[in-house]
Copies of this chain bind each other. A is one copy, B any other.
Amino acid sequence: MKVLVVGANGQIGKHLVSMIQASENLEAKAMIRKPEQASFFENVGAETVVVDLEDDTTPILKAVKGADAVVFTAGSGPHTGKDKTLLIDLDGAVKTIKATEIANVKRFIMISSFDTTRKAIQAASSSFAPYVVAKHYADEKLRDTNLDYTIIHPGRLTNDKGIGKVTAASTVERDTIPREDVASVILACL
């Protein structure tokens, strides 16, 4: 089973690609933005494809084709402007969802934010709210598809070593979670 990891060069993405490559039945195709990001993935034997999520759907569609599942773990990150929140976290996600539908790939895993409900938007600080809005609409777009999707809402992400145990349920108290454990959860969903 081939898994396209969108946002492979992110912190969750790198864990995930490594885990996929270490697994028996899965192989990763790492979607990255810049060619110079390829070496990490080549070192774990993963295929790479260079696509900028700000491009139109065509190169994304090419990347999706031939995959059996798509994981969206791309994010503009906290250090870019809110323009990138609109262009990557919302529009990049929706373009990836659309490309997945067009390519007739059924399985889609979205790494969302902890809570993207209307209530969470209103409760968020003014600096965080735009991000929650972007993730809210991206999640909603995914729910409106016929894809076989899973939306993962992790708690506060840390770079601690994964402990291999998570509390997963439709609603949980917010807690921290190592990115490595988020990658384990994604792997278990595949």
Chain A residues near B (Cβ < 8 Å): 54-57, 81-83, 85-87, 90-91, 94, 118, 121-122, 126-127, 129-130, 133-134, 137
CB pair A130 B83 closer than 8 Å: yes
CB pair A83 B137 closer than 8 Å: no
CB pair B122 A55 closer than 8 Å: yes
Question: Taking the nearest CB of chain B, how far is it from the CB of A165, in angstroms?
Answer: 35
Which residues of chain B are within 8 angstroms of A82 by Cβ–Cβ distance?
81-83, 85-86, 130
How many copies of this kind of chain does the complex include? 2
CB pair A83 B126 closer than 8 Å: yes
Which residues of chain B are within 8 angstroms of A122 by Cβ–Cβ distance?
55-56
Cβ-neighbour of A121 out of B91, B126, B130, B134 (below 8 A): B91
With A82-B81, A130-B82, A137-B137 given, is the CB distance from A118 to B87 under 8 Å?
A: no
Which residues of chain B are within 8 angstroms of A91 by Cβ–Cβ distance?
121, 133
With A91-B121, A121-B91 given, is the CB distance from A86 to B133 under 8 Å?
A: yes
Cβ-neighbour of A130 out of B55, B87, B129 (below 8 A): B87
Give A128's nearest chain B residue, CB to CB. Answer: B83
Which residues of chain B are within 8 angstroms of A55 by Cβ–Cβ distance?
122
Which residues of chain B are within 8 angstroms of A85 by Cβ–Cβ distance?
82, 86
CB pair A57 B118 closer than 8 Å: yes
- State A129–B95 Cα separation when bound (angstroms): 15
Question: Taking the nearest CB of chain B, how far is it from the CB of A98, in angstroms?
Answer: 9
Cβ-neighbour of A118 out of B56, B90, B134 (below 8 A): B56
